[in-house]
A = this chain, B = another copy of it.
Amino acid sequence: MADKTKDQENQMWGGRFSRGPAAIMEEINASIDIDKRLWREDIAGSKAHAAMLAGAGIISTDDAKTIIAGLDQIAGEIERGEFKFSAALEDIHMNIEARLKVIIGETAGRLHTARSRNDQVATDFRLWVRGACDELEQALKALMRALAKKAETHANFVMPGFTHLQIAQPITFGHHLLAYVEMFARDASRFADAQKRMNECPLGAAALAGTSFPIDRNATAQALGFDRPSANSLDAVSSRDFAIETLSAAAITGIHLSRLAEEIVFWTSSQFGFVRLSDAYSTGSSIMPQKRNPDAAELVRAKTGRIVAALNNLLIVMKGLPLAYSKDMQEDKAATFDAIDALALSLAAMTGMISDLTADHARMLSAAGEGYSTATDLADWLVRVLNIPFRDAHHITGAIVAIAENKNLALDELPLADMQRVEPRITQDIFDVLSATASAASRTSYGGAAPDNVKAQASRWLKELDREI
């Protein structure tokens, strides 16, 4: 394979293997490229810790003030993009600590009293994940609102309901969208549950065993918005189930998004033609200007892989790790950040797509009447009006559909006489239930597809979402 542009590849790869151990070790060991994203949490945690140390008389109030002022200065530097991150200093904690020493001198050394990087990183990461849950809940609610609004205005757009992607029974577009509101509401409640469960403060667990200093763990917990301090120091520094649980909520949300995305891909195909995405969320073709590729929907569908993989990743990393901290855990952040970013972006894109799409009622309604989709309505009529046992009604209906199919007629086009040949007691009233619109309108049981139900449910959701936000 002499032609394979080996030289080029060597430039890409070779470096790694010709470098010395120190460079390889720095590359595998340093996490600053990833964990610098925790700077706000790290500084917030350090400020709370310094204030607590002073409050408990472990350091002087003056020292605490100096430390806090130094940390505020660093926050400003990072915010303004002036801070110089160093891989030699490995991680965000050491980067900030080193800078603090430059700014305030050896008083900086007192900040680390009764603390270790192990409880520090556990606290920082937990704060970040907690914040992510907040934001994902908000993002889910924005999507739910977009869906509920669209459902409200499309409560009576009759469309086919599918099973096995075969037309089954008429439903309404609003009803279909509200199914997703239910799913995303459960997803939001999963993030809320995860958030509540994780809201214990690890700070004070120190390296792994707690400390002999008379620290006030309630004070730091409260200052950082935690419900309480964690009750076991080993657990506090060794556990990452809070991140895994968040990723599993994210994975389930991703699955729900993938289903809606798949449907958008169908619906926008020329075979279905139920829905048209806005320009903003389609990708065109200069050669085929009418073309609207549903790229955003496809990407949302694909991001599921990334999110599920992050969950899988973190489960695998944690499998079989003895207590307490092992360096393996450093891998927790890259996976979590990547998945949460992918999910937040997917939610934003889906919210935009739903808000902007237009539905083609004519095509939906036409499809809703195909495939003898009201056969069940006929059977139900036989049960309800003629008191025929359901299973028998089912067979009578089958015979009538077979006749209609032979004649190449829709059910509501089939002459009454044909039906009566199968079941003489059928009357003209049967035609009240055989259209797609009538069928959808009849689904008035709680949770059913009838337009009035849809309006009521959409309105309930919109009110609830208004109240919450």
A206, B445: Cα distance in complex, Å: 10
Q: Which of A110, A139, A181, A395 has the most CB of B within 10 A?
A: A110
Asked if A168 is at the interface (CB within 8 A of a chain B CB), the reply is yes
B164 touches A327 (CB 8 A): yes
Asked if A89 is at the interface (CB within 8 A of a chain B CB), the reply is no
From A80-88, A101-109, A417-425, the one touching the partner chain is A101-109
Q: Which residues of B contact A269 (CB under 8 A)?
A: 162, 165-166, 271
A301 touches B320 (CB 8 A): yes
- Closest partner residue, chain B, to A115 (CB atom): B390
Contact digits for A8-22, partner B, Cβ 8 Å, 1 yes 0 no: 110011101100111
B165, B329, B448: the one contacting A210 at CB < 8 Å is B448
User: Can you name 7 A-B residue pairings with CB atoms under 8 Å?
Assistant: A3-B225, A16-B344, A178-B235, A233-B445, A299-B328, A305-B314, A308-B312
Q: Which of A204, A212, A233, A236 has the most CB of B within 10 A?
A: A212
B445 touches A213 (CB 8 A): yes
Contact digits for A158-202, partner B, Cβ 8 Å, 1 yes 0 no: 000111111111110001101111110011011001000100000
A394, B109: Cα distance in complex, Å: 9
A345, B252: Cα distance in complex, Å: 26
Asked if A238 is at the interface (CB within 8 A of a chain B CB), the reply is yes
Chain A stretch 201-250: residues in CB contact (< 8 A) with chain B: 204-215, 217-218, 222-225, 229-236, 238-239, 241, 244-245, 248
A293, B419: Cα distance in complex, Å: 25
A288 touches B375 (CB 8 A): yes
Known contacts A168-B207, A251-B315, A304-B319; is A286 also within 8 Å of B328 by CB? no
B324 touches A166 (CB 8 A): no
A397 touches B324 (CB 8 A): no
**How far is the CB of A84 from the nearest CB of chain B, in Å?**
20
B380 touches A211 (CB 8 A): yes
Asked if A383 is at the interface (CB within 8 A of a chain B CB), the reply is yes
Asked if A278 is at the interface (CB within 8 A of a chain B CB), the reply is yes
A251 touches B248 (CB 8 A): yes
A447 touches B229 (CB 8 A): yes
Asked if A384 is at the interface (CB within 8 A of a chain B CB), the reply is yes
Q: Which residues of B contact A268 (CB under 8 A)?
A: 165-166
B27 touches A345 (CB 8 A): yes
- Closest partner residue, chain B, to A19 (CB atom): B348
- Closest partner residue, chain B, to A204 (CB atom): B445
B322 touches A232 (CB 8 A): no
B190, B217, B232, B442: the one contacting A179 at CB < 8 Å is B232
Asked if A96 is at the interface (CB within 8 A of a chain B CB), the reply is no
B233 touches A290 (CB 8 A): no
B295, B308, B335, B397: the one contacting A306 at CB < 8 Å is B335
